[in-house]
Structure 1
Amino acid sequence: MAAGSLLALLDDIATVLDDVALMSKTAIKGSAATFDDVAVLGKTAMKKTSGVLGDDLALNAQQVTGVNPDRELPVVWAVAKGSLLNKVILVPAALLISYFIPWLILPLLMLGGAFLSFEGAEKVIHTFFHKGETKPAKQGVPIDERAKISGAIRTDFILSAEIIVIALGVVSSEPILTQVIILSVIALLITIFVYGLVAGIVKLDDLGLYLLRQQSNMAKTIGRGILWLAPYLMKLLSIVGTIAMFLVGGSIILHGIPGAEHWFESILPGHGAGLLDAVLTLIAHFVVGLVVGLVIVAVMSLFHKKEQEA
């Protein structure tokens, strides 16, 4: 799922790497070219991950929809901590796998893509066939909150893995220290960026109420507009987040099947170039993700049914 609207923000975030380079040049004379290279590579890696980052934002924002307003920020904070832990695991794991068993990265990503598609299919089926079903609370904490936190962290793990692997692809030929620095900085900045925006999105209604209490008529008008928009935005994010699961999952799966992407590009009108081809590619990713997700749900349901009969 393209996230062109985020590119300008990502470029601003990436300039942090330029600041690091400038400070490093002051502190360590004679190493300016090296730190400039790190900054350039960091910007390139950040921009290449922007598509997945857009999906990451949509998915994580919709994961906290429906939470009690008093618990929204604690839930976002819990997921953000889980995301940081994911990256603490993923960055060294990606570096080790890339160095010792690089062939394993693609199968692992495909498993992650299949899991994303499965989660998306489950959400669709729950929406259309199990809407209104509730589970009892456990130990005084609503089960929905527990499920949303754990589900968001699981989803973040897969998206973070893809972001790190994409970034690793940009710096794979660089010295190991450069790889570690760039991957670590990108992992930290992306976590701050995504969950900072998520926190802002889920508290839009509070901003609207604050503006509504101000003396200025313009502030009150903006506040009313925000209060009107907020619920629709959350519903939209929920829909977009589910679609993103199929888009990312299908993209990973299609990319992992040998020759599949090249074959698909060959049958496109523009052979992979142009707006129409981009739209058709997104549709193909969505269909692949949806089909794979529904197949996995069907297999899991059949397996669960046989277990119950036994």
Structure 2
Amino acid sequence: MSGLLALLDDVAGIAKMAAASVDDVVGQAAKAGAKAAGAVIDDAAVTPKYVHGFEARRELPIVWRIARGSIFNKLVILLPVAMLLSVFAPWMIPPLLMLGGGYLCFEGAEKIWHKLSPGGQGHGGGDVIPEDAAHLEEEKVQGAIKTDFILSAEIMTIALAALPESGLWFKAAALGLVGLGITVLVYGSVALIVKADDVGLHMAAAGRLRATRALGRAIVRGMPGFMTGLTWVGTAAMLWVGGSIILHGLAELGWHAPEEMIHHAAEAVAHLAPADLRGAVGWAVKAVIDGALGLMLGFVLIPLATKVISPAIRAVTGRAAKGH
């Protein structure tokens, strides 16, 4: 009997350790995922455009197809690559992170440049012609999955860099949770966004209460402004995260001065605020400076990307296609 009790005690101890490990994995995954906020918000802001113009009944299936592609990107391709890097080439993570940070700065600055330049507001597309719908849907889904791959690579790299030193399986589990959690968050939000108009129209037309109908009309009227606001928030988050990644990467490579100067400037401004607001003010000042630096870097990268990198990629892929 005493042996059985001892065995049960050991089992209970193992269970507690396992539960603690799961808590640690979940906790670290949440912290690591939070570091990728800029890419996550941009992912949620970008994706709804891929369902624009399609019939309402095809919107959720398209979102689901893109979400499945996103899960494949994160768990089947990027997670193993991240684990290989962490084991065999951890020195590559800061440069890759900086490369991704530069891409975020470029994307954010390009969006602002596009909005500010003549004709930059773009034009709305019409509804999809029914006979072309299947072909166009396939193109849209594949394009969205390719865009998601870039953003997912950013998310996974940022999350990997944010995880503490730990065992390989711990990192893999935490990174897998980040990938799944962010995918559910992003595409769940996208599904709600793309169906909000339909929900609002239904409430406005079929609501039993006057308040319900009024809320439905408010949702329909408010969605264009909400989408515009989400786009600007995503752009600002990209510039902030991209700038902070570049600065932190420079510090990792030995050039600490820029990051330290910004830290001291944020502290100096924070000390002018009331004591209970200093933390928030310091964070806000640092975020604004990081974002401004990200915007400046992005503007520098625009001509490099459009005049040098993109033509080079098109030339290489064009030759490869001809050779094939």
TM superposition score normalised by structure 2: 0.71
Q: Quote the Cα distance in structure 1 between the aligned partners of 2:104 and 2:147.
A: 7
- How many angstroms does 1:169 deviate by? 4.0
SS of residue paired to 1:140? helix
Aligned length in residues: 281
Aligned residue type for 1:270 = A
RMSD: 3.7
Q: Quote the Cα distance in structure 2 between the aligned partners of 1:194 and 1:203.
A: 14
Aligned residue type for 1:30 = G
* Residue matched to 2:322: none
SS of residue paired to 1:201? helix
- How many angstroms does 1:54 deviate by? 5.3
Residue 39 of structure 1 is aligned with which of 16, 23, 37?
23
The structure with the larger Rg is 2
1:220-299 alignment to 2 at 5 Å?
Answer: 220-257=213-250, 258-259=253-254, 262-267=257-262, 268-271=264-267, 274=282, 275-299=284-308
* Residue matched to 1:173: 165
SS of residue paired to 1:173? coil
Q: Is the 8 A contact 1:117 1:246 kept in 2?
A: yes
Q: Is the 8 A contact 1:56 1:156 kept in 2?
A: no
Q: Quote the Cα distance in structure 1 between the aligned partners of 2:80 and 2:36.
A: 20
- How many angstroms does 1:153 deviate by? 3.0
- How many angstroms does 1:195 deviate by? 0.7
- How many angstroms does 1:297 deviate by? 2.0
Aligned residue type for 2:41 = L
SS of residue paired to 2:132? coil
Aligned residue type for 1:291 = V
* Residue matched to 1:16: none
Residue 97 (structure 1) aligned with residue 97 (structure 2):
no
Residue 185 (structure 1) aligned with residue 177 (structure 2):
yes
- How many angstroms does 1:261 deviate by? 5.7
Q: Which moved more, 1:280-289 or 1:148-157?
A: 148-157
Residue 84 of structure 1 is aligned with which of 71, 78, 85?
71
* Residue matched to 1:10: none
CA deviation string 1:34-75 (max 9, x = no partner): 431331342133134224235413433333237125243233
Q: Quote the Cα distance in structure 1 between the aligned partners of 2:186 and 2:123.
A: 30
Q: Quote the Cα distance in structure 1 between the aligned partners of 2:84 and 2:315.
A: 40
CA, structure 1 residues 110+152, in 2 after alignment: closer, same or farther (shift >3 Å)? farther
Q: Quote the Cα distance in structure 2 between the aligned partners of 1:146 and 1:294.
A: 31
* Residue matched to 2:197: 205
Aligned residue type for 1:64 = P
Residue 72 (structure 1) aligned with residue 59 (structure 2):
yes
Residue 195 (structure 1) aligned with residue 179 (structure 2):
no
Residue 30 (structure 1) aligned with residue 13 (structure 2):
yes
SS of residue paired to 1:270? helix
Q: Quote the Cα distance in structure 2 between the aligned partners of 1:143 and 1:118.
A: 31
Q: Is the 8 A contact 2:32 2:158 kept in 1?
A: yes
- How many angstroms does 1:121 deviate by? 5.0
CA, structure 1 residues 54+187, in 2 after alignment: closer, same or farther (shift >3 Å)? same
Q: Quote the Cα distance in structure 2 between the aligned partners of 1:271 and 1:152.
A: 41
Q: Is the 8 A contact 1:122 1:297 kept in 2?
A: no
- % identical aligned pairs: 38
Segments of structure 1 that go 5 or more residues without pairing to the other structure are 1-24
Q: Quote the Cα distance in structure 1 between the aligned partners of 2:309 and 2:52.
A: 28
Aligned residue type for 2:173 = I
Q: Quote the Cα distance in structure 2 between the aligned partners of 1:177 and 1:246.
A: 32
Q: Quote the Cα distance in structure 2 between the aligned partners of 1:145 and 1:116.
A: 27
* Residue matched to 2:277: none
